Amino acid sequence: MFKKIPINYISAFVIFIVVILWIFSGLIGGDEAESNVSEVVTSEEIISVRAQEFSSQKKTYFLTIRGRTEADKIVMLKPKTTSTIIETINKGSFVKKDEVICKLDDENRTAALNEAEASKNKAQLQYDAIKTLADEGYRSENAVATADAALKASIARVEMAMNELDNILIKAPFDGFIEDVYLEIGDLITPASPCAKIMRLNPMLITGEVTEKNVDQIKLGQKVNINLIDSTSLQGSISYISKSANPSTRTYKIEATVSNKEGSIREGLSADMLVPLREVLAHLIPSYLISLNDEGELGVKVLIDTKVKFSNIQIVEDTVDGLWVTGLPEKATVITVGQEYVINGQIVNAEIIN
């Protein structure tokens, strides 16, 4: 009578039989399975994409300089004498050259002028009398010279008194806007104290900075386009190019001048200065077609027959209609749908869209 077989022996035997059956089933159906896998892989490798043909166009390459508007001149108006303010203009006013901005109390300046003029008249009479006598031989040349010196001194005192009286009027040195008035009527003002600030806004300056690489491409008098932050477009010309670089940024200051007769352009607005550098052949493509390769280079995926090629590009200008780019052939078939699923050198089925 057989001994009872242990349960672990039975389990091991069953597992052995199952493994043998699995191996034989693989050998029998292996070719068919491999064929099915190959067919699946082959069918997955051919990806369908859509592409569109883009043609190059002549495009002016602009150097964009970020900047801001600046007043042509800003002057702090200060007196040449000390006195009390008795009249001021309203800030925000537009004034003409030589218009009075602030007026000071003349104190005794008018009296001093009157005294100087009286002294001059007296000296004139004395000179005329002595000169007449000298011509008749009754006075010496020395007496005439003394009278002449006294007359000239009195004339000088009149001029000084007139200048001192004129100094109580603080006038506009040019046409402009009064940006601010710092003193009130009754305030005491000295030559160190400003009365008002005046700005000349016509012409208006657009200032920015360019790198040492681009500064030699810009010329004095060159026409430029100006785009303000409120979408206003203007035209101006380069009026200044710095000869020395900013030591902290190694950039050079550039200024362009634009007309602002109406004074509608405010000082301190953000502005883009577009400087035309050269004319190139470029393509206008949608921005979503741009991608990066493994080296981090910018480009798009184009079709050469049925093969995908990553083509490097350079962006010339970013517009609302798309990107102007260079680096593509005159006519380029760019993948527009499915470009994110294909790689360089891959064969694809392509539907060309006009």
- Taking alpha carbons only, the member of 201, 187, 200 closest to residue 79 is 187
Mean predicted confidence (pLDDT) in 308-321: 87
Residue 40: predicted pLDDT = 44
Give the DSSP H or E segment for 94. strand 94-95
What average pLDDT score do residues 296-325 get?
Answer: 89
pLDDT of 1? 42
When the pLDDT of each residue in the chain is averaged and rounded to a whole number, the result is: 87
- H-helix segments, the chain: 7-45, 109-135, 141-166
Task: For each of the domains in the chain, give its residue range(s) and CATH number, in order of start.
Answer: 47-61+280-353 (2.40.420.20), 64-70+201-278 (2.40.30.170), 74-189 (1.10.287.470)
Of 278, 232, 239, nearest to 255 (Cα)? 239
User: pLDDT digit string (tens) for 236-264?
Assistant: 999 999 999 999 989 999 999 999 988 88
pTM, 2 dp:
0.63
State residue 37's pLDDT score: 44
Rounded Cα distance between 238 and 228, Å, is 17
Backbone angles phi, psi at 55, to 5 degrees: -105, 145
Is residue 229 within 8 A of residue 269, CB to CB? The reply is yes
Q: Is 264 helix (H, G, I), strand (E, B) or coil?
A: coil
| φ, ψ (nearest 5 deg) of residue 153 | -65, -40
pLDDT of residue 33: 47
